[in-house]
Amino acid sequence: MTIGYLFAIFTGVLFGLQGTYGKSVSNAFPATLLAWANFTFALPFILLLLMLSGFPAIDWVNFVWATGTSFIINIFAWIVFFRALSLSPLYLTMPFTALTPLFTIPIAFLLLHELPGIKGGMGIVLIIAGVYGLHARGKSIWLPFLNLYREKGSRYMAFVALIWSVSATVEKVAVRSSSPQFYALIIHVLLAGAYLPYILIKQRHFFARMPRYGYRLAILGAITGIMAICQFRALTYLDVSYVIAFKRAGVIVSVILGYLIFKEKGIFRNLLATLLIVLGAILIIW
């Protein structure tokens, strides 16, 4: 179990690094190119995962529709993700990825007529308090809500969390119909392939610069690929809820690095607000 927790911790740290590094290159490369690199350069690591685990038995009917739905959702999600990083500080973007459990509540109510219990209700309160704290500026109690509306990066990342809450449901179907490693490989291939034609037509000048700047994109994919290895290794030892909780906690790493690298202000307030969001998400997950 100890090694499982280590892999889960590494997953969270790498998730924080993914956002931080994505932020650092978001002004040098367009969001579509970053999304393509994120999946393309992670492929060798994902392929290694599948080779180590072996080819699974596949329920093709369920796998195809679930993977196809996830593919359509994530085509847009990852472009918006990197766009959000380019628009706002890390403390106003990455913590919002932890809102995914919050958005699953109305989906579960509509589809399954399920509502959260006391623990889930406490989680909702903590998340709202954390989001409020991130945007708290001035003395007006309504100003944080106005700031949330004005901050494009926060709005975009909240939208990403919303559509990830939908894709998470179909991803479970895809994984159960095959294996986590096989699904990861197929979705990476599909997304890398989907972005490529657009890049070749609209952003082909970046390929001429690949020998000089390509390593910066490769680093992004390597972070994503290593994170996938750690996440799936953690899942062999721990329940999914534990691993996802550690991964979401990685946003704290982004907030700290945002202060250290990008000199983002209000580190203590931002950390406290981010911690409230993460704790709220964990309460809902568990």
What's the pLDDT tens digit per position in 96-136?
A: 998 888 887 777 677 656 677 788 888 888 888 888 888 77
Q: How confident is the model at residue 214 (pLDDT cuts 50, 70, 90)?
A: confident
Range of weakest confidence among 1-10, 41-50, 58-67, 76-85: 1-10
Write down the number of H helices and E strands in the chain. 14, 0
Query: What does the pLDDT look like over 47-72, one tens digit per residue?
Result: 998 998 888 999 999 999 999 999 99
What is the pLDDT, as a whole number, of residue 166?
85
> How far, in Å, CA of 229 to CA of 79, rounded?
23
- Residue 91 CA to residue 89 CA, distance in Å, equals 6
Contacts of 31 (CB under 8 A, 6+ apart): 79, 80, 81, 82, 83, 86
pLDDT at 186: 96
pLDDT of 204 above 70 = yes
DSSP assignment of 90-119, as one string? GGGTGGGGGGHHHHHHHHHHHHH-----HH
Among the residue ranges 72-76, 125-129, 225-229, the one predicted with the least confidence is: 125-129
Q: Is 163 exposed, middle or buried (0-12, 13-18, 19+ CB in 10 A)?
A: middle
Residues contacting 94, CB < 8 A, separation 6+:
16, 19, 85, 157, 251, 254, 255, 258
Residue 200 has pLDDT above 60, yes or no: yes
pTM, whole model, 2 decimals? 0.91
For range 177-182, the mean pLDDT? 92
Read off the pLDDT band of 241 (50, 70, 90): confident
